[in-house]
Amino acid sequence: MKIEKLTLDGCRNFLAQTLFEPKTDSGASQKNSDKIGVELEAFPVRFTDYEKTKAIPIPLKGEKLSLHQELEKASALMDGKVDFSNNGSLAPIRFPNGSLFQYEPGGQLEIATSPCKTLPELIAQLRLQQDILDRITSEHQIYFSQLGTNPWFDLTQIGLQLDKPRYRALQEYFSRLGPYGVQMMRQTCSLHVNLDLGLAESTQVKRIVAANLLAPFATAIFANSGILEGKITTRKSHRSYLWQQLDSSRTGVRGLEPFDGLPEKSQLIETYLDFAMKAPILHIRALGDRVFPVDFTFDYWLKNPIAGLSPSWDDLENHLSLLYPEVRIKGFLEIRTADALPREWQLVPAFFYTGLLYSNDSLEKVLELLLPFQKEINAIWEKSSFGFESNEIFGISGKLMKLALDGMAGFEEEFACKDSKLNLENYYNTFTSQRKSVAEATVARFLEGKSLIY
C-alpha cells in the first residue's frame, strides 16, 4: 500500500479539518453544544514540620514512597484504571466519566476533566478527583500545591521525572536556548480552560480572536507565581515570564497581527499553518531523543528528509502538540494562560472565560473593547507578568471581569449555578477590583511564615 506523501496543502487541510472544526456532538444546537473542561496542575509535596512550611519533594516513582502507586490504588476505589495503551509505567489513570490523572515532566500532577455540559457538572467532576487526592493526603501526608511556580525546590531537587524520549528531547532543545525551558518543564503549574469553538463559523472566528486578545489581561488577573525556589520574584506571574522567554517560535499570542479587525476563518487557518511550519522540530518519535538544529523547521522537513525519513501524519500531529501558544487550537480552544490557583479560586478562570466567550453579548463587547489592541497584544502580554502595574492592563481587566459577570448572570441556573457566579464575583471583589491577584496573597503568606497549602 502506497503511503501518501505529506505536503503543505495536506498540512493545511489537516488543520482545517482536524483543528479548526469543532469537536461537538453531531446534530447539536449551539445552545446545548458548548462544553467546558479544565486541566489543573499541582505540585505533590510532603512536609517535615507541623506548620507545613518545610517541604520535601515526592517522586512519581520512589523506593519508599511512590505517588503513582498510591494514586493508582486510591483511584481504583473510584473505578480509575491505568491506561497501559499509553506505553509506560507512568501512564495516565482514566475514569469512566472521561476524566483522568496524568503527569508533567517535573512530577507535577495534572487533573483533567472530561468536557462537561454545565458548570455544576464541572465542579462535581473536579471535586470527585480531588476527593481522591484528599484520601492520599490523609493516609500518606502528600499534599498537592496549586501554585504557578514551585516555591520550594530547584531544578536538581526535582529532576526529570518523566524520563521519556519526548521529554529528553525537549529538555535538550530548551537547554540550548537558555534556562527558561527546563524551568517551565519542572517548576510550573497552570490551569488550562478548554472551551468549544462553536458551530457557526462566525462564532468560531470571534471566540478564537477574543480568546487570544484576552491573554495579557487573564495573565494579570490570574497571576499566582511570585515565588520560585524560596525567593520572591519581581513578577506576579513568573510562570508567564518563563513562557515569554523560552522560545518565541512556538509561544505567544499568535495570528492576530496581520489583520485589522476580524479575519476570515481561512485566514486564521493560514496564519496557524505558517506558525506551525516555521516552528523548529522538537521531537521525531522514530528518532527517539535526538535533537535537531533550530533551522530544521517542519517546513524544512517537508522538503528535506531527515535521517532518511519524511514526515507522516503522525509526525504532523506530534509537532502540533509541541507548539505552545497561549491559545492552542485542537478542535476546541485550549486556553493556557492562567496560573494554578488555590482550591477556593481554582475554577474562577473557567467561569471568567465561560462568561466572556459563551455569552454572545459579552463576546461582542470583548471584541469591541480589545480589537483596537490586536497589533500590540504581544507587547501588552509581555507587561502582564508584572500584574496590574500597568494602568492600562488594570483598567481593561476590571472591565473584562464585569463583562464576565454579566455573561454569567445571563446563563440559566442549570448551566451556571449560583455558586459559580458568586465565586467569580467574590474573586473580583477580593482581588481584581483591589488591583491585586492571588500572587500577592501567596507572597504575604510566605513572608509571614505561613503554609502555602491553602
- Domain residue ranges of the chain, discontinuous segments joined by +: 8-447
pLDDT value at residue 30: 54
Q: Which of 55-69, 110-124, 327-341, 378-392 shows the lowest mean pLDDT across its residues?
A: 55-69
Report residue 241 CA to chain centroid gap.
15
Using CB atoms within 10 A of its CB, is residue 145 exposed (0-12), middle (13-18) or buried (19+)?
buried
- Euclidean distance between CA atoms 99 and 87, whole angstroms: 19
Whether the pLDDT of residue 2 is over 50: the answer is no
Q: Quick one: which of 453, 382, 387 has its CA closest to 147?
A: 453
**Cβ 359 vs Cβ 406: under 8 Å:** yes
Enclosing H/E stretch for 452? none
pLDDT category of residue 435 using cuts at 50, 70 and 90: very high
Q: How far is CA 41 from CA 108, 112, 147, 234, in A?
A: 6, 9, 9, 23
**Cβ 173 vs Cβ 330: under 8 Å:** no
| CATH 3.30.590.20 corresponds to the domain 8-447 | yes
Strand partners, 47: 55
- Euclidean distance between CA atoms 307 and 287, whole angstroms: 8
Whether the pLDDT of residue 368 is over 50: the answer is yes
**Half-sphere exposure of 88 toward its Cβ, with a 13 Å CA cutoff?**
16
Instruction: Work out whether strand 251-252 and strand 324-325 pair parallel, antiparallel, or are unpaired.
Output: parallel
Enclosing H/E stretch for 214? none
- Euclidean distance between CA atoms 316 and 326, whole angstroms: 20
Q: Quick one: which of 94, 108, 95 has its CA closest to 147?
A: 108
- Cα torsion through 204, 206, 211, 215, rounded to 10: 150
Average pLDDT over residues 148-160: 97
pLDDT category of residue 23 using cuts at 50, 70 and 90: confident
Q: Quick one: which of 15, 447, 25 has its CA closest to 269?
A: 15
Which residue has cell 525546590? 153
pLDDT value at residue 395: 99
Whether the pLDDT of residue 3 is over 70: the answer is no
Instruction: Work out whether strand 100-103 and strand 109-112 pair parallel, antiparallel, or are unpaired.
Output: antiparallel
pLDDT category of residue 210 using cuts at 50, 70 and 90: very high
Q: Which of 62-71, 273-282, 311-320, 398-407 shows the lowest mean pLDDT across its residues?
A: 62-71
Q: How far is CA 371 from CA 94, 204, 271, in A?
A: 40, 16, 17
